Chain A
Amino acid sequence: MKIAVASGKGGTGKTVVSTSLAWLLAQDGHQVTYVDADVEEPNGHLLLRPEITEERRFSVLVPALRGNSCSGCGECQKACEFNAIVALADRVMVFAELCHSCGGCLLACPDEELIEGPREIGTLAAGFANGESKMAFHSGTLDVGEARATPLIDGLLKDVPSDGIVLVDAPPGTSCSAMEAIRDADLTLLVTEPTAYGLHDLRQTVEMCRTLGRSMAAVINRSDLGPDQVRSYLDGEQIPILAEIPFMKEVATAYAHGQVVAAASAPFRDFMASVASYLLQEVTS
């Protein structure tokens, strides 16, 4: 079973909820894998404090010239949808940061002068967390300055075993990277908050999930601090609300100290338990 935890708006509590759910399910004896797919700003490790046992650099393929025989004909430039190649008089200039690794330029080159080579864009890490109630931990970190997170998230998810319960901490927003993180999930758990910003971004995320044909459920965090529109919106969309978690100072304190919140706060743990029981009952992989 694969659950993606997504939000639209940043800062609603995705990482608090996903690390807490992972912790709780592992405590209950389930085989759990926590995946931090928020590769532009991964921070699940701050709460879970995993022991990293494997780390590797991740590369995408980009074109380069094989030798000095390029005629500068420009066929590869024409084939590139992303303006990553500029043909000069007697060679081509490749802007690797713009390349989407489609390989079209290699097919277009009449002289087979282009080859593909690796270009590193980030790091993938794997290990274990949670002491005796072990859970597997996977995370990706995109290099600073890289524009495209999608291939790294794809590589990260391919490394993750499909058995047991997989919790994917998705990036915020509705861009390609958010879509990549929720694409294969059996259910997307939306973590939202009752604020104007929360509602605005939630609408976009719901629309994204509908477009991708993903089923959804929601958790309203800090549910007592704002107006009711988020609740009525979710009801109107027929998205089940699994928990409405009021603001609790002990939650904020645990979070501020970098603790897994479900481990530190009994009331928060109870909310996570009802979310977990819904997931175990309703979601089949």
Chain B
Amino acid sequence: MSNIAITVAAGQGDLSAPMDGRFGRAEQFLIVDSETGEVLRALENPAINDAHGAGTGAAALMKKEGIEAVVSGRFGPKAFEALTGLEIVTWIAPSGLTAAQALALFQQGQLERMQLQIIR
């Protein structure tokens, strides 16, 4: 069993919710058993309104929750650095999907890992 997090915009805390394309400022994190597809819990993002540091705060939360991989649309540079340091894998899903569709692509091995980007 491995637990992954999928970033979702506000929903009912289930897989019908639309994926939130941003990691650090996502509304919620759905914690999912990647093998069974079962939603274990839905976490509100406590850092969503922080002026700075939402991404690193969310990364620390993933660690605390024992997450091994995150599926989102986009990771900011600091969030990516923190998640990489925490050995949490970052997967990029196309925008416009529901959490269920993103999960299906993850299970089928069709998502791409975020690559190191030199942005400065």
Chain A positions within 8 Å of B, measured between CB atoms, are 77, 82-84, 86-89, 93, 95, 97-98, 145, 147
**Which residues on the B side are within 8 Å of A87 (C-beta)?**
60, 63
Q: Is B78 an interface residue (CB 8 A)?
A: yes
Report chain B residues within 8 Å CB of A82.
50, 52-53
Q: A83–B64 Cα gap in the complex (Å)?
A: 14
> Which one of B30-38, B67-75, B79-87, B104-112 is at the interface?
B79-87
Name 26 A/B residue pairs within 8 A (Cβ), A-sorted.
A77-B60, A82-B50, A82-B52, A83-B47, A83-B53, A83-B54, A83-B56, A83-B57, A83-B60, A84-B56, A86-B56, A86-B85, A87-B60, A87-B63, A88-B85, A88-B86, A93-B85, A95-B53, A95-B56, A95-B78, A95-B82, A97-B52, A98-B52, A98-B53, A98-B56, A98-B78
Complex: A88 Cα to B82 Cα, angstroms? 9
CB-CB nearest in chain A for B55: A83
Counted as pairs of residues, one from A and one from B, with CB atoms less than 8 Å apart, the total is 43
The answer, yes or no, to whether B59 is at the interface (CB within 8 Å) is yes
Residue of B nearest to A145 (CB): B120
* Contact yes or no, B52 A86, CB < 8 A: no
* Complexed CA–CA distance, A88 and B54 (Å): 17
Chain B CB count within 10 A is highest, among A86, A87, A93, for A86
- Cα separation A83 to B55 with both chains bound (whole Å): 8
Q: Which residues of the partner chain B approach A93 to less than 8 Å between Cβ atoms?
A: 81-82, 85
Q: Is the CB of B120 within 8 A of A86?
A: no
Classify chain B: how many residues form its interface, as a range: 10 to 19
Complex contacts, A88 vs chain B, CB 8 Å:
85-86
Residue-wise, chain B 18-35 has the 8 Å CB interface mask toward A (1 for contact) of 000000000000000000
Give the complex CA separation of A87 and B59 in angstroms. 10
The residue in chain A whose Cβ has the minimal distance to the Cβ of B83 is: A86
- In the complex the two chains form, what is the Cα distance from A77 to B61 in whole Å? 11
Please, how many angstroms separate the alpha-carbon atoms of A41 and B1 in the complex? 53
Residues of A within 8 Å of B85, CB to CB, are 86, 88, 93
CB-CB < 8 A to A145: which residues of B? 120
Q: Which of A83, A93, A95, A147 has the most CB of B within 10 A?
A: A83
Residues from chain B with a CB closer than 8 A to the CB of A98 are 52-53, 56, 78
Which residues of B are found within 8 Å of A97, using beta-carbon distances? 52, 78
How far, in Å, is B50 (CB) from chain A's closest CB?
A: 7
Q: Is the CB of A147 within 8 A of B60?
A: no
> Which residue in chain B gives the minimum CB-CB distance to A88?
B85
* Cβ–Cβ < 8 Å partners of A95 in chain B: 53, 56, 78, 81-82
**How far is the CB of B62 from the nearest CB of chain A, in Å?**
10
Residues of chain B from 78 to 120 with CB closer than 8 A to chain A in the complex: 78, 81-82, 85-87, 120
Bound CA span A87–B60, Å: 7
What's the Cα separation between A89 and B120 when bound, in Å? 27
CA A93 to CA B80, docked complex, whole Å: 12
**Given pairs A86-B63, A86-B85, A93-B82, 14 additional interface contacts (CB within 8 A):** A77-B60, A83-B47, A83-B53, A83-B57, A84-B53, A84-B56, A86-B60, A86-B82, A86-B86, A87-B60, A95-B53, A95-B78, A98-B53, A145-B120
Contact A83 B86 (CB under 8 A): no
Q: In the complex, A88→B56 CA distance in Å?
A: 12
> Which residue of A has the minimal Cβ distance to B84?
A93
Q: What residues of A have a CB within 8 angstroms of the CB of B86 in the complex?
A: 86, 88
Contacts of A77 in B (CB 8 A): 60
Which interface residue of A77, A89, A93 has the most chain B CB atoms within 10 A?
A93
Query: Bound complex: CA of A145 vs CA of B52, how far in Å?
Result: 13
Bound Cα distance A82, B52 (Å): 7
A21, B2: Cα distance in complex, Å: 68
A88–B78 Cα gap in the complex (Å)?
14
Q: How far is the CB of A147 from chain B (nearest CB, A)?
A: 6
